[in-house]
Amino acid sequence: MRLSKIFLSVFYLLQLSFHSNLLAQERPPNIVYILIDDLGWKDLGCYGSEFYETPNIDKLRAQGMKFTAAYSASPVCSPSRASILTGKNPANIGFTGHITAIGKHRFPEEGRIIPPDDYMHVSLEEKMIPEILLQSGYTSASIGKWHVGEEEKYFPTHQGFAINIAGYEHGSPPTYWGPFESEKSWNPVIKNLDNREEGQYLTNRLTDEAINFIGENKEGPFFLYLSHYAVHTPLEAPDSLVNKYELKLEGQKEQKNAIYAAMIENMDWNVGRLLKSLDSLGLEGNTIVILGSDNGGEGRVTNNAPLREGKGYIYEGGIRVPLVIKWPGKVKPNSLSDVPVITDDMLPTIVEMAGLSNDNQDIDGVSLLPLLTGEGGWDRDMLCWYYPHYSPQAKMPGYAIRMGDYKLVEYYDPPSVELFDLSKDIGETNDLSGVDVQKVEEMKASFKEWLMEFNPILHTDNPNYNPNYRSN
């Protein structure tokens, strides 16, 4: 009798497992995109940091593929986020600069160029990821930072998302502490966030909202765009973590900011909470998790070495970003790709992951599935960045193009041209432009041809240019 009961129990469990696997095969996968703001390429343990502690993200990396040459489409946030959501390069949609609540990009009155008069939103005519996923019955939520539209009519719920929590025109919160408002900030309060409690920490609160969304939509399929404000300024974190890293700073030279380090560890803890919730609900096996950043690390608060510079620059420190993708049963655990990819690629990748075709999508990105699964070929000859703006960090408008291992950087103000071999010089310290003039001209021509395919909104020469304005 006892043996019969054991047999029936085992049989029941096998049947349950069989039906669960069958359901997973029939139903499109859930997709969770965790976008961490301003996270630098080397700000994670799995990318080589020996100072920041990120055990949960490191575990995620061990379960999926790590990309060593992933790029954002821009050295600042709004354009790269637009590229993620639309699959189009910022130059293609006239959205090359980041939006602010006070209007268009500021630029020096006597600077060499006048930046293009970009749109301050993504056109409603552009198809974003959730609008396409509706074809397969996905419910989509945008939780956290939006920053790709300056008016409510360009917010997430008008572009395919069923839910918008805490997303609005601003790119940074007034404070990370509840009730998330500050009279000292030019951005006085976070919009679209209910039930604000004193003392809440924003990263924790957004993760709570994400976990709630998953629980309410566990029958799926769902697309969760969890776009954290952290680790963007203002630098604020729980005191216990700050104290920990203040002690850890002693005797080391790798990093310098205990608050930023605390924000990263708190972010990692919240990533762990989210992954545990997927596991506890039995969703882990049919959920794709993507983790990345919108641009390079802010050089004033983190050390991006060996990469040159940071956010706002088109050197590697401003555009090379971490990217980890986990897809159970499809992506080999602990796998690695050194193929150059860009945020434009996220839409076609996600669409194909959902079982849909990209054939009808007018996009610039390329699906990463051949790299992720090891099936099929990969063909791309170059990556380009058009950033004709005076960023708050660099104040150096220009462009960059990568062809193979070679990267050309040309700044419009002050005028300069540099050529680097990234295979030998990831830190961009050895300028080869005077050695290989032919390569410089070839890459200049390739960039111009690429740019003009878009009928782009271009910068213009400034008639009030003063060559000495930087020294005034």
The topology under which CATH files domain 28-379 is Alkaline Phosphatase, subunit A (3.40.720)
Task: Provide the residue type at 171 as one letter.
Answer: G
- Strand 415-421, strand 406-412: pairing: antiparallel
Residue limits of CATH 3.40.720.10 in the chain: 28-379
Collect contacts of 445-449 with beta carbons under 8 A, ≥24 apart. Answer: 446/382, 446/401, 446/403, 447/384, 447/399, 447/401, 447/408
Is the model's pLDDT at 103 over the cut of 60? no
Give CA–CA dist 8/1, Å, rounded: 11
Q: Give tens-digit pLDDT for 337-394.
A: 999 999 999 999 999 999 999 887 899 999 999 999 998 888 899 999 999 999 999 9
pLDDT of residue 9: 46
Q: Give tens-digit pLDDT for 244-285.
A: 999 999 988 899 999 999 999 999 999 999 999 999 999 999
Considering the domain delimited by 386-471, tell me its CATH architecture: 2-Layer Sandwich (3.30)
Q: Give tens-digit pLDDT for 111-149.
A: 999 999 888 899 999 999 999 999 999 999 999 999 999
pLDDT of residue 125: 95
Give CA–CA dist 325/335, Å, rounded: 10
Instruction: With CA atoms as reference, report the closest residue to 430 among 444, 419, 443.
Output: 419
Query: CB–CB of 161/131 below 8 Å?
Result: no
The model carries a pTM of 0.93
pLDDT of residue 345: 98
pLDDT of residue 105: 54
Task: List 114's β-bridge partners, or say none.
Answer: 460
Residue limits of CATH 3.30.1120.10 in the chain: 386-471
Query: CB–CB of 466/431 below 8 Å?
Result: no
What sign does the CA torsion over 308, 309, 310, 311 have?
negative
DSSP string computed for 40-87:
-TTSSGGGT-SSS--HHHHHHHHTSEEEEEEE-SSSSHHHHHHHHHHS
Instruction: Find all residues with CB under 8 Å of 61, minimum gap 6, and list them.
Output: 44, 46, 324, 334
